[in-house]
Chains A and B, each alone.
Chain A
Amino acid sequence: MNADTLISFDKVSVSFWQNNMGINSIKDLITKRKKPFSSKTILKDISFEVKRGESMGILGRNGSGKSTLLRTIAGLIKPQDGIIKVNGSFAPILAIGAGLELELSGYENISLLLSLYGTSRKNTNAGEEIKEFSELSEDVLRMPVKRYSSGMVARLAFSISLAKQADILIIDEVLSVGDQGFQAKCMDKIHQIKAQGTTILFVSHFPDGVLKICDTAILLENGQITHRGTAKEICDNYTLLF
């Protein structure tokens, strides 16, 4: 592996257990002797490399394995086959509202997630930065998150996730919520992070976003990489799918 290679995947396969049971689960289990779980392959023979500072887009239809690929990269899913090498730290995966506790207030969520991300408790700046970036008012942050609109949830989640300094930023389809102003602000922030040399992995259904952020891209179809290349080429291929 090259010194400036940040992520390398070599023939990685991931399979999940799939529930075979219907509504008559226990009866079926006894009478038909069906196995309750079978294995289903989600990712097949995935190989690619990402260099330090490079930004890669991941495109594909719904259900093609994009989110699974991101989670495998982040080490949340252990592959059944293949070798994964990662040389850096991760910011948490940005998915809409993931990990926010609906009953807790915005402030309580900020402090909970910061401790879970491993940001030092004394780093009170992080809290201030989140508040400032999200543009949510004191009143809103004191309310339980369940009262938030989806745009407000996205603002909070995005701001919290950006608080951790890391080598790799993973963005899973978050920019589709939030008003235009906030979307533009997020784009600016992503560009700023990218300029600092952070590697960005970006999943989106909108080729425009991928073109703006990414240098290279891959196209996933049914759990396999069918195309690899520059962001431009892959976006063109992706558009042809429909």
Chain B
Amino acid sequence: MQNITRIYALSKRNVILRYKNSLVGFFWGFFKPLLYLLIFIVIFAAQFPSVNNYILYATSGLIFWFFFSNVTNQAIGTIVGSAGLIKSLNIPPVSFPISELVGELFNFFLTLVVFLVVMYWFGISYSLRLLLIVPCTILFSIFSLGVILLLSSLNVFFRDISIIWGTVQPALFYITPIAYPESLLQGRNMFIIKCNPIYYFIKLGRGIFNDPIAPSNRLWAYCAIIAFVMYGIGAFVFSRLKNQFISTI
């Protein structure tokens, strides 16, 4: 119970800190995907006439991508950045990555609300199916938590991790069909894409908003398996390393 209060307090701090001294505050959450979308429209939209309703297609992928990208960027340095607290208070270190995730979920929720309103003009159909976004977000969060547990704990010992992650991320972005249709890829390229775990979550989330038919059970199962395996890996590494955090930060 006490830990929940603590995570709440830390998450609140993260949310306040993120947009401190910025003019439009939370709306950056939506502006950022929107700016990317503008770039996409100018460069790609005409290239992919095969995509039905390109704006909805690209935006629905982008909001999920930015959730993942924001949470990993914020959380990768969370243990190193919380050195002062870790050295003076007996708080389980796992509270720090969790609170980054909670803060970003709050941000994602606001983005989602704006997205759902704005997409009215771009042909989103409102139905009960949109509620599937809740389990989808939960699975993606579990996956993201696994990633940030892994990255934030390794980053304590090898600060190169955050630098490497800065270059891995754009690569991940481009091998995930966000700006371009999946049909563009064939053969060997398709194999690379299918090895990319984020692909499945983006496909799932986008399917809920965009496709005429609901995501298949098989896709849900893939996402659930990937999410829990990633969480398992992250939690294992984190728990092996956490006792040595204090000596290194």
Chain B hits for A104, CB < 8 A: 13, 16-17, 20
How far is it, in angstroms, between the C-alpha of A115 and the C-alpha of B1 when the chains are bound? Answer: 12
Interface string of B85-119 (1 = CB under 8 A from A): 11111110000000000000000000000000000
Chain A hits for B246, CB < 8 A: 71, 76-77
Which chain A residues (57-106) contact chain B, with CB distance < 8 Å? 71, 74-78, 90, 92-95, 97-101, 103-104
Cβ of B89 and Cβ of A99 under 8 Å apart?
yes
How far is it, in angstroms, between the C-alpha of A99 and the C-alpha of B17 when the chains are bound? Answer: 15
Q: Which residues of B contact A (CB under 8 A)?
A: 2, 5-6, 8-10, 12-13, 16-17, 20, 84-91, 157-158, 160, 243-244, 246-248
> A97 with B84: in contact, given A76-B246, A115-B8 (CB under 8 Å)?
yes
Interface assignment of A242: CB less than 8 Å from any CB of chain B: no
Contact size class for A?
Answer: 20 to 34
Picked from A16, A19, A71, A115, the residue with its CB within 8 Å of the CB of B9 is A115
How far is it, in angstroms, between the C-alpha of A77 and the C-alpha of B8 when the chains are bound? Answer: 24
Interface string of A128-158 (1 = CB under 8 A from B): 0000000000000000000000000000000
Cβ of A112 and Cβ of B13 under 8 Å apart?
yes
Cβ of A101 and Cβ of B17 under 8 Å apart?
yes
What's the least CB distance linking B49 to chain A, in Å?
A: 46
A-B contact count (CB 8 A): 78
Cβ of B16 and Cβ of A92 under 8 Å apart?
no
Residue of A42, A74, A98 contacting most chain B CB atoms (<10 Å)? A98
Cβ of A17 and Cβ of B247 under 8 Å apart?
yes
Picked from B9, B20, B157, B158, the residue with its CB within 8 Å of the CB of A103 is B20
What's the least CB distance linking B85 to chain A, in Å?
A: 5
12 contacts between A and B (CB under 8 A): A19-B248, A76-B87, A77-B246, A94-B88, A99-B85, A99-B89, A104-B20, A112-B9, A112-B13, A116-B10, A116-B89, A116-B91
Which chain A residues (1-48) contact chain B, with CB distance < 8 Å? 16-17, 19, 25-26, 36-37, 42
Interface assignment of A118: CB less than 8 Å from any CB of chain B: yes
What's the least CB distance linking A163 to chain B, in Å?
A: 13
Interface assignment of A117: CB less than 8 Å from any CB of chain B: yes
Cβ of B243 and Cβ of A76 under 8 Å apart?
no
Interface assignment of A108: CB less than 8 Å from any CB of chain B: yes
Report the 6 A-B pairs with minimum CB-CB distance, sorted nearest first: A16-B247, A115-B9, A98-B88, A93-B88, A98-B84, A99-B85
How far is it, in angstroms, between the C-alpha of A81 and the C-alpha of B228 when the chains are bound? Answer: 34
How far is it, in angstroms, between the C-alpha of A178 and the C-alpha of B242 when the chains are bound? Answer: 34
How far is it, in angstroms, between the C-alpha of A111 and the C-alpha of B12 when the chains are bound? Answer: 11
Cβ of B85 and Cβ of A116 under 8 Å apart?
yes
Residue of B5, B158, B160, B247 contacting most chain A CB atoms (<10 Å)? B247
Residue of A25, A99, A100 contacting most chain B CB atoms (<10 Å)? A99
- Beyond A17-B157, A17-B244, A115-B8, 10 additional pairs, beta carbon < 8 A: A16-B248, A25-B160, A77-B247, A98-B84, A108-B16, A112-B12, A116-B9, A116-B85, A116-B89, A117-B89
Cβ of A118 and Cβ of B6 under 8 Å apart?
yes
How far is it, in angstroms, between the C-alpha of A116 and the C-alpha of B89 when the chains are bound? Answer: 8
Chain B hits for A93, CB < 8 A: 87-89
Cβ of A98 and Cβ of B85 under 8 Å apart?
yes
What's the least CB distance linking B161 to chain A, in Å?
A: 12
How far is it, in angstroms, between the C-alpha of A98 and the C-alpha of B10 when the chains are bound? Answer: 15
How far is it, in angstroms, between the C-alpha of A26 and the C-alpha of B89 when the chains are bound? Answer: 34
Of chain B, the residue at the smallest CB distance from A18 is B247
Chain A hits for B160, CB < 8 A: 25-26
Chain B hits for A116, CB < 8 A: 6, 9-10, 85, 89, 91
Cβ of B90 and Cβ of A101 under 8 Å apart?
no
Chain B hits for A76, CB < 8 A: 86-90, 246
Cβ of B90 and Cβ of A100 under 8 Å apart?
no
> A98 with B13: in contact, given A17-B247, A19-B248 (CB under 8 Å)?
no
What's the least CB distance linking A124 to chain B, in Å?
A: 16
What's the least CB distance linking B79 to chain A, in Å?
A: 14
Cβ of B16 and Cβ of A99 under 8 Å apart?
no
How far is it, in angstroms, between the C-alpha of A36 and the C-alpha of B2 when the chains are bound? Answer: 37
Residue of B16, B88, B91 contacting most chain A CB atoms (<10 Å)? B88
> A95 with B88: in contact, given A103-B17, A115-B9 (CB under 8 Å)?
yes
Cβ of B157 and Cβ of A37 under 8 Å apart?
yes
Chain A hits for B158, CB < 8 A: 25
How far is it, in angstroms, between the C-alpha of A116 and the C-alpha of B10 when the chains are bound? Answer: 8
